Amino acid sequence: MHAGNKTRTKDKYRVVYTEQQKVELEKEFLFNQYITIQRKAELAGSIGLTDRQVKIWFQNRRAKERKCRRKHDGVTQLPNTGMGVASVAPAVVGGAKTVGNDTLRLCDQLQPQQF
């Protein structure tokens, strides 16, 4: 494995990315949410990850973006129906949006940052 730290889970080791790797991945994601094969190889080589790790990171990051966008838009999925339902309008408490007892700080962290 190219990325230094590993954390043991039940059956596998999970690589813990360095701050520099995360910054480079996030910068690329802000530029384009879908990475080309060529760019994936370049990025992987430059930050010491495999192509597969970069591909999976982008898949997971897009899923995180979709989840955040759904919460931010006030739409939640009903279990086993695939139907969305509008939730109660979020209240702003201390800079974080809240819906019921759930604080939506994730969306605040996903805003584009200056690098």
Cα dihedral 79, 82, 86, 87, rounded to 10, equals 20
What confidence score (pLDDT) does residue 82 get? Answer: 55
Q: For the chain, what are the domain ranges? A: 6-109
What confidence score (pLDDT) does residue 89 get? Answer: 42
Instruction: Note the Cα 18 to chain centre separation in Å.
Output: 15
User: pLDDT tier at 11 (50, 70, 90 boundaries)?
Assistant: confident
Residue 39 near residue 28 (C-beta atoms within 8 A): yes
Provide the H-helix boundaries in 1-115.
19-31, 37-47, 51-72, 105-109
Task: Report the half-sphere exposure of 6 (CA within 13 A, side-chain side).
Answer: 10
Which CATH number applies to 6-109: 3.40.50.300, 3.40.50.10860, 3.20.20.70, 1.10.10.60? Answer: 1.10.10.60
pLDDT in tens, 17-55: 999 999 999 999 999 999 999 999 999 999 999 999 999
